[in-house]
């Protein structure tokens, strides 16, 4: 069998993470182009029950390392287990999510395997002539995109969330499940998780919202964001922000959209008093429809938006929200 693709199927809160399903969806296409199979690796404690959902999401084979010592993510233990699986499976391409775990694991894994990692990719393709991976990633602060090639195997890449599409899960799909002994000595796990603090979430999660109302520097302060919250509530959406608004602590950092923030792909993205820098657009250009409210008719956001309103948001937004309320009440 020619070499295929291996996906690190990250688990979050006891469930297969969204990024794992996205990587499996994209990995299927890449494996087909390579003429190989799609393998996944599940690592954790009490994760064996997730193997069938990994197969349903597209994997042909799942390696499962289920061990109480793997309950919490620790670099040492995870990297050694995944290294073992990669050596056993022998893939040509290894994919991880650009998550806090993937960012930590990928370079260490690549080093151990004597190869390189391409981080934060937004597109992946196989060169038909060489059958090598061609990952695309933003460079120069998001102002350009570069296509890379890795000379060594396996070719390791991390992929940003929400840029790949999962396939529709098929619970009837068949695949092979292979148990892997973690063979860890407790002393080998040098990092201990002391405390987990869960962020309290009010309303809809930004990354999952179908409508996002984002505010920028032109909002002028935290008070203005109340107006955005009102509109988001009417549309059952979430509030996002540009970096200056987060840096000024007008809204929590977790709501930042963009290159160094979150990537959102809602049906509707309403950008209020945001100029439309390339770094901001890196986080929202995947939205189906962008509506911009800006007082500067020359603002770049109008080049990106399907609908634009030139005006002061303080006048436009309350009127817009009131009209929506009126229409929704009918």
Phi-psi region of 46 (alpha: psi -120 to 50; beta: other; left: phi over 0): left
Number of Cα atoms under 13 Å in the Cβ half of residue 249: 0
State the DSSP code for 297.
T
Nearest approach, Cβ of residue 218 and ligand FAD (Å): 2
* Residues 97 and 113: beta-carbon distance below 8 Å: no
Nearest approach, Cβ of residue 95 and ligand FAD (Å): 23
Q: Which is nearer to ligand FAD, 249 or 329 (CB)?
A: 249
DSSP bridge partners of 156: 94, 117
Nearest approach, Cβ of residue 14 and ligand FAD (Å): 30
Q: Which is nearer to ligand FAD, 102 or 283 (CB)?
A: 283
Q: Which is nearer to ligand FAD, 16 or 317 (CB)?
A: 317
Q: Which is nearer to ligand FAD, 112 or 314 (CB)?
A: 314
Instruction: Tell me which residues touch ligand FAD (CB under 6 A).
Output: 141, 216-218, 242-245, 256, 258-261, 273-275, 277, 279-280, 283, 293-296, 299, 312-314
Nearest approach, Cβ of residue 260 and ligand FAD (Å): 4
Nearest approach, Cβ of residue 216 and ligand FAD (Å): 2
Nearest approach, Cβ of residue 122 and ligand FAD (Å): 14
Alpha carbons 23 and 91: distance in angstroms, whole number: 15
What does residue 14 show for φ and ψ, rounded to 5 degrees? 75, 5
Q: Which is nearer to ligand FAD, 109 or 272 (CB)?
A: 272
Q: Which is nearer to ligand FAD, 170 or 296 (CB)?
A: 296
**Taking CB positions, which residue lies at the least distance from ligand FAD?**
258
User: How would you class 201 by CB atoms within 10 Å of its CB: exposed for 0-12, middle for 13-18, buried for 19 or more?
Assistant: exposed
Buried residues in 69-101 as b, exposed as e (16+ CB within 10 A): bbeebbeebbbbbbbbbbeebebbbbbbbbbeb
């Amino acid at each position: 069998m020619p070499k295929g693709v291996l996906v690190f199927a990250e688990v979050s809160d006891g469930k297969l993470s969204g990024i794992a399903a996205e990587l499996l969806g994209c990995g299927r296409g890449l494996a087909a182009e390579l003429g190989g199979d799609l393998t996944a690796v599940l690592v954790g404690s009490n994760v064996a029950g997730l193997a069938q959902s990994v197969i349903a999401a597209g994997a042909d084979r799942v390696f499962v390392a289920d061990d109480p010592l793997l309950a919490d993510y620790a670099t040492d233990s995870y990297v050694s287990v995944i290294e073992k699986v990669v050596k056993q499976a022998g893939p040509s391409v290894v994919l991880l999510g650009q998550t806090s775990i993937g960012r930590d694991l990928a370079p260490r894994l690549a080093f151990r395997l004597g190869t390189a990692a391409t981080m934060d990719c937004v597109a992946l393709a196989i060169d038909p002539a060489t059958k090598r991976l061609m990952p695309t990633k933003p460079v120069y602060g998001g102002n350009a995109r570069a296509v890379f090639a890795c000379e060594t195997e396996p070719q390791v890449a991390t992929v940003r969330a929400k840029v790949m599409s999962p396939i529709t899960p098929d619970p009837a799909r068949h695949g092979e499940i292979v148990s892997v002994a973690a063979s860890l000595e407790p002393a080998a796990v040098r990092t201990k998780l002391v405390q987990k603090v869960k962020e309290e979430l009010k309303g809809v999660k930004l990354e999952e919202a179908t409508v996002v109302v984002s505010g920028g520097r032109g909002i002028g302060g935290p008070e203005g964001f109340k107006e955005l919250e009102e509109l988001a509530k009417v549309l059952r959406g979430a509030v996002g922000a540009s970096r200056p608004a987060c840096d000024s602590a007008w809204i929590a950092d977790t709501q930042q959209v963009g290159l160094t923030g979150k990537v959102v792909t809602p049906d509707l993205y309403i950008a209020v008093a945001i100029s439309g820098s390339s770094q901001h657009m890196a986080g929202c250009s995947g939205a189906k429809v962008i509506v911009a409210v800006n007082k500067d008719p020359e603002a770049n956001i109008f080049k990106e938006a399907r609908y634009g309103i030139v005006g002061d948001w303080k006048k436009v937004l309350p009127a817009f929200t009131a009209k929506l309320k009126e229409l929704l009440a009918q």
